Structure 1
């Protein structure tokens, strides 16, 4: 015989339970999946620079790059259990959960100027951390997919540099990235790799969002590939670019405009970007040195208003900003990421070391990027990631 108290509890609990079940059922029927399940989470970091040391890290001095990057990856592995801040961004106040992609923005190897190790040695250390130590998994239950683009140091190691390196060239990191990402039918080798034609350009469609990975910077040569790729995409489809250089690039990364276009100390050009420099015969060092080159990129952006966000490394600090172009006629949201080894600020203040967590909601076409401070308490072995700045942008195409 059921007591009146039990019957009262049953009358209260059952309706609540039925309501909850109906709510979940409604979410799956009407939306296909819950908000948390439909969000794509990506970790973005750059400029790993294996082969050099940090002056100070967690109470030690001259700490090798592989040790610092290992510590970063161990902090990435803790993300799924953390709760996001209530910042009104994508998944605000929810548990992070699955990590679908981990993106490395280049400069895996440091330039091989003695006593820096070879690109081959640096790549082996990178593989150990990013392929073996990394344990986060995506919504599909599989290990997070690693996506990689090269940086200027990886390229210099492959093609040579004005100042002596040891060895003089080593294309290992470029070859490994190329074989991992565009995945050619016949993998390249160090002996047959040719940077002039073997660029690491590829794209992914992420639930209706088109993501492009571009070698170093969208120069006039790269834009030929980009145009062909975008010709396959509906003009209403949002596009996100990942590349190594900032939208302004750097003058020294362009090709020497003086025939025979060689890499020489006097010119300052490193021949990393296929486009010949247009503003002079010697590479200037100031930030406004690529005006003519940027204008070509700006025209491309104006022709493709569905390009809605740009991610890069190279200059090495966390910043969310808007690129307006040299003539102030575009408005492109840009996300600059820190380096574990060469941060403009974090190299001096290790508590500001950071990577980025990107949360993308394809249904609402909204993207939130959060700064992840992964070494805020250097002395605490059990420290957790602290969320810093965040920025939310709409990817909707008008």
Structure 2
């Protein structure tokens, strides 16, 4: 009996670690969950709170392990999904606290209540799926202030929450003690030999300098950030006067780097984009760039302002502010990233999680891209 029990235990352990042994990793990527606002319409109701919509998306994510990957020729095609090894969210956890929007503290509390307690997926080792976060422009504006009135004027709750979860300080920060200038959120997680590089709203020169010191070792790197590579001027620190956030210049000071292409938010970001392109050229191990902010799905190649680089980019939809899905709820989507670490290939698939609003069990697959690593 003891011998049979030992064999049974070995079988169970091999079953749980099978996905690790065959080298397949799977991530769910989403962004811009925007706690604090409402959707105009969702599943037969109007003015639906972000908590309701995000819980519906979480329920859809929870369905993935019991489903199968479509027969599309990509990594894992036709196979059971089984495990989700990370949930990746690139910011705008809390909406900016403008008129009619709740505080960042309330929004952050709702996010943790939903994603920590309702998410039921497990990773390849049968442990709860980790959630990896970067901040968005709304999170940062809540912490540093904005050029339009907010209530309260400053609330760093979501930034402090993201910092504590991702950076794991010895003494956790609070909304009162968090300092955006010094408490930077940038980190690398190695999951199954794949390095996930998370930076602030956009990889400016300060994040690039940090990454230069930490991108050592083997294995492909995926960069996760909030904004698209062709970043907007307003993200940078005001180059004028005392460099503050004001209603005249309308710079948002989301990034420590001073804006270099002029003095107004109507300008270009050619200098800044060239800096990013140079960084990516120096680090060919960075194989893909994942981001939110624009709130729609697109798989594309970013070539830089001088067309001297080509990096695969994956833009993702928002459950609350989708460019297209806010008008047509059947287009709501997240992305499933499936990686074969042995064959060094990756497939990113768009998953429509509300294609039949009256039947939440239906998941439909959309755009797909397979690439080598």
Q: TM-score, normalised by structure 1?
A: 0.88
Counterpart CA distance in 2 for 1:220 and 1:332 is: 19
Q: Which residue number corresponds to residue 271 of structure 1?
A: 253
Counterpart CA distance in 2 for 1:376 and 1:208 is: 34
Give 5+ residue unaligned stretches, structure 1.
Answer: 1-24
Shift of 1:190: 1.7
Q: Which residue number corresponds to residue 394 of structure 1?
A: 372
Correspondent of 1:129 among 109, 114, 137 = 114
Q: Which residue number corresponds to residue 173 of structure 1?
A: 158
Cα deviation digits, residues 287-327 of structure 1 (max 9, x gap): xx211110011111111111110100001101100000011
Kept in 1, the 8 Å contact 2:19–2:25? The answer is no
Correspondent of 1:43 among 28, 38, 50 = 28
Shift of 1:371: 0.3
Counterpart CA distance in 2 for 1:84 and 1:254 is: 41
Cα deviation digits, residues 363-388 of structure 1 (max 9, x gap): 111111110100001122x4321111
Q: Which residue number corresponds to residue 104 of structure 1?
A: 89
Correspondent of 1:333 among 312, 316, 332 = 312
What SS is found at the alignment partner of 1:203? strand
Shift of 1:100: 1.1
Cα deviation digits, residues 320-362 of structure 1 (max 9, x gap): 0000001111010000000000000000010000001111111
What RMSD over aligned residues (CA atoms) do the two structures have, in Å?
A: 1.6
Kept in 2, the 8 Å contact 1:317–1:337? The answer is yes
What SS is found at the alignment partner of 1:222? helix
Cα deviation digits, residues 159-184 of structure 1 (max 9, x gap): 11111100011000000110000111
1:134-149 pair list within 5 angstroms: 134-149=119-134
Counterpart CA distance in 1 for 2:41 and 2:172 is: 39
Cα deviation digits, residues 111-155 of structure 1 (max 9, x gap): 000210000110111112111000011111111011111100000
Kept in 2, the 8 Å contact 1:36–1:91? The answer is no
1:151-166 pair list within 5 angstroms: 151-166=136-151
Q: Which residue number corresponds to residue 297 of structure 2?
A: 318
What SS is found at the alignment partner of 2:257? strand
Kept in 2, the 8 Å contact 1:149–1:214? The answer is yes
What SS is found at the alignment partner of 2:54? helix
What SS is found at the alignment partner of 1:89? coil
Q: Which residue number corresponds to residue 185 of structure 1?
A: 170
Aligned residue pairs, count:
359
Q: Which residue number corresponds to residue 255 of structure 1?
A: 237
Shift of 1:250: 1.2
Counterpart CA distance in 1 for 2:58 and 2:97 is: 24
Q: Which residue number corresponds to residue 18 of structure 1?
A: none
In the alignment, is residue 57 of structure 1 matched against residue 42 of structure 2?
yes
Shift of 1:34: 6.0
Q: Which residue number corresponds to residue 244 of structure 1?
A: 226
Shift of 1:192: 1.6
Q: Which residue number corresponds to residue 206 of structure 1?
A: 191
Counterpart CA distance in 2 for 1:384 and 1:374 is: 7
What SS is found at the alignment partner of 1:314? coil
Kept in 1, the 8 Å contact 2:55–2:114? The answer is yes
Cα 1:339–1:304 shift into 2, 3 Å: same
Counterpart CA distance in 2 for 1:34 and 1:192 is: 42
Give 5+ residue unaligned stretches, structure 2.
Answer: 1-10
Shift of 1:37: 4.7
Kept in 2, the 8 Å contact 1:257–1:276? The answer is yes
Shift of 1:208: 2.2
Q: Which residue number corresponds to residue 8 of structure 2?
A: none
Kept in 2, the 8 Å contact 1:106–1:244? The answer is yes
What SS is found at the alignment partner of 2:91? coil
Shift of 1:197: 1.2
Counterpart CA distance in 1 for 2:85 and 2:312 is: 22
Which sits farther off after the overlay, 65-74 or 181-190? Answer: 181-190
Cα deviation digits, residues 176-226 of structure 1 (max 9, x gap): 110000111221122221101111111011222221001111101111111
Counterpart CA distance in 2 for 1:165 and 1:186 is: 29
Q: Which residue number corresponds to residue 355 of structure 1?
A: 334
Structure 1 runs (4+) greater than 3 angstroms displaced = 32-37
Q: TM-score, normalised by structure 2?
A: 0.93
